[in-house]
Amino acid sequence: MVEPNQDEGVLDEIYRILKAVAATPNELICYSDLGNRLTDRLGARDPNLHGSLDTINRREDARGHGLLSAVVVNKYKRMPGEGFFYLARELGRDITDQRKCWQDELNRVRIENSV
């Protein structure tokens, strides 16, 4: 399902980037770099970027996979933003220890995307 104002082409492009990052050991990507790599650039705080990450995570969760946007982090904090944890909680993850929650999801997507 595509949310209003979301383009399947943009979702596919983001998905491919995230899968490639997840398949590369120790690699992360910050929101601004992700937005800049897109054909139609999106800013780090663009609601369309965050909405797209949300949609991708929901789709991955529905497939029984980890939250793929675990590889996307804040440039300075080197962790995902609050939206990641809000969705993680909504999808049943324990976010009591946010760093552990993120590390668990990151490890899971790394394993799922290892070559």
Average pLDDT value over all residues in the chain = 91
| Residue 65, number of CB atoms within 10 A of its CB | 15
Q: Kind and range of the H or E element at 72?
A: strand 72-73
Least confident of 7-11, 39-43, 62-66, 81-85: 39-43
Q: Which pTM value belongs to this model? A: 0.90
pLDDT digits (tens, 9 = 90+) for 34-80: 988 987 777 667 778 899 999 999 999 999 999 999 999 999 999 99
Output the pLDDT for position 86: 97
Domain ranges of the chain: 8-112
The helix (H) or strand (E) run that includes residue 31 is: helix 31-37
